[in-house]
Amino acid sequence: MDILAALRTELGDDAVVTGDAMGPWCHDWTGGYTSAPLAVVRPRDTVGVSAVMRAAQASGTAVVPISGNTGLNGGASTQGGLLLSLDRMKTIRAIDATARSAVVDAGVILSQMHDAAAAHDLIFPLTFGARGSAMIGGVLSTNAGGSNVRRYGNTRDLVLGIEAVLPNGRVMDLMGHLHKDNTGLNLKHLMIGAEGTLGIITAAVLRLFPKPRAYATAMVALNDLGPALDLLNRVQDASRGAVEAFEFMPDTYIDGHLAIKPDARPPFDRRYPVNILIELGATAAQDTTPLADGTVPITNLLEDILGQMIADGTVLDAHVVASEAQRRDMWARREAAGEIGFRKRPLVDTDVAVGLTDVDAFLRNVRSGLLALDPDATDWAVSHLGDGNVHYVAYPSRDDPALIHAIRAMVDAVTADLNGSFSAEHGIGLSKRISMARHKDPAALDAMRAIKAALDPHGIMNPGKMLPDA
């Protein structure tokens, strides 16, 4: 208990939470991972984080960073270590509207960042269903993706600089606003996506973008995924790259949404195998200024392309939104994926990436593999189709650990056969360490272990996560 006394002295009694008061931090959103930490430590600033790390290294105590606790892979769980929460470090330090950048603490909630950018007629484009609880430190640590990757990139692409505290307590200041910096290894990118295994990200310089002045959003029905990429490419070319989202929801996903939201309306009057949400965002006056008849050019463009594809039989049906309320309804359907997926147990949830032309093959092959393992199993998927990211969920017919393990292994194998990745945006945490051992290149794993040993020789940073045992 000496470390807790030292931390109370250094940070104040209210910064060290123990006993029953730790409850909110000890259960993740899925309910699949629980923690029994020594304490939850809540420093107010980077100096406090540095003090925590010095004390932890001196005592050999594990430190596990925790943000909004909405991860799916157990990356923020601990048994006996310190949970380090940056929820008190929630200041947006500065927004430079001219340079389109923001300096923020790691505890800033993603939706807070959205609101702050909007006040300057800008956007921070990273978005997903948990934006009301996810924190900047967490999304950087997992290199989160979301729905707008097609246009803006993953989290890593949205960061100009970071501040991080290393395991020995030293503060690494990489808080530049530079778009080019060729001075040795890119340590910023090394820390982003490291899941807290190399240090604690405490602040960041984020890229902001012009807020679209008009959106064109539609649900599109297809018979299969074959014409989907043709649709994407035609709209992308005609709009000069304005496609922000291209989301695939099969009929089984729509069924799941209606099961949890019985008052919701289906996207169409009849059931279609393939439902795609496409959204364009435009900033130029020529695309966003209403015409004499009240229509908006970017919306007209989308309607024209969809009309042509309906006429030639490529598209079966389409619904272009006529109001912001309709747009919100469409996005609410897509962003309910987590709630839909975890409505039944047991389940196997996966997060893979394959080539854009391989999504259909992946879905066919995993379904075939699932039924071969468990003929009574059911499944569904949802996909960021524009970047090849598929969230595939299987529901085994029985709660059998061996069966669940076999289904995960099958999904990994199908993904590997397509030269894909078994983790696209959710990170590795605990649940995908076996996948890392099976499918990550051995030389790459050894390089990661060497970096981990160099920066964290005592192994106190989020131990047991991400890297499989040697």
Report d(CA 57, CA 52) in Å as an integer: 9
Helix (H) or strand (E) holding 251: helix 251-260
Q: For position 71, what pLDDT does the model report?
A: 83
Q: For position 279, what pLDDT does the model report?
A: 98
- For residues 292 and 275, membership in a common domain is answered with yes
Residues of the chain with pLDDT under 50: none
DSSP 8-state assignment for residue 23: G
Residue 57 neighbours by CB distance under 10 Å: 19
- Print the domain residue range for 171: 92-210
Report d(CA 177, CA 8) in Å as an integer: 35
Q: For position 1, what pLDDT does the model report?
A: 59
Report d(CA 63, CA 167) in Å as an integer: 9
Report d(CA 43, CA 51) in Å as an integer: 9
CATH no. for residue 386? 3.30.70.2740
DSSP 8-state assignment for residue 155: G
On the CB side of 257, how many CA atoms lie within 13 Å of its CA?
A: 22
> Of 337, 354, 384, which marks where a domain is finished?
337
Q: For position 32, what pLDDT does the model report?
A: 81
Q: Is residue 317 part of a domain?
A: yes
CB distance 87 to 100 below 8 Å: no
Report d(CA 94, CA 203) in Å as an integer: 12
Report d(CA 219, CA 330) in Å as an integer: 8
- For residues 391 and 297, membership in a common domain is answered with no
Token pair, residue 115, equals 């609101």
- For residues 281 and 359, membership in a common domain is answered with no
DSSP per-residue string spanning 71-99: -SSSTT--BSSEEEE-TT---EEEEETTT
Q: Which pTM value belongs to this model?
A: 0.94
Nearest residue to 44 via CA among 95, 136, 106, 114: 106
- For residues 352 and 324, membership in a common domain is answered with no
Q: What does the radius of gyration of the chain's CA atoms come to, in whole angstroms?
A: 23
Q: Give pLDDT tens digits for 294-339.
A: 999 999 999 999 999 999 999 999 999 999 999 999 999 999 998 9
Q: Phi then psi for 174, rounded to 5 degrees?
A: -120, 40
> Of 282, 308, 337, which marks where a domain is finished?
337
Q: Is residue 441 part of a domain?
A: no
What is the domain count for the chain? Answer: 4
Position of tokens 């000069």? Answer: 240
Q: Is residue 469 part of a domain?
A: no
**Most distant CA atoms of the chain, gap in Å:** 74
- For residues 111 and 196, membership in a common domain is answered with yes
Q: Is residue 433 part of a domain?
A: no
Q: For position 404, what pLDDT does the model report?
A: 96
Buried b (16+ CB within 10 A) or exposed e, 151-173: bbebbeebbbbbbbbbbbbebbe
Report d(CA 294, CA 291) in Å as an integer: 5
- Sign of torsion over alpha carbons 2, 203, 89, 67: negative
Q: For position 276, what pLDDT does the model report?
A: 98
> Of 337, 364, 391, which marks where a domain is finished?
337
Q: Is residue 395 part of a domain?
A: yes
Helix (H) or strand (E) holding 153: none
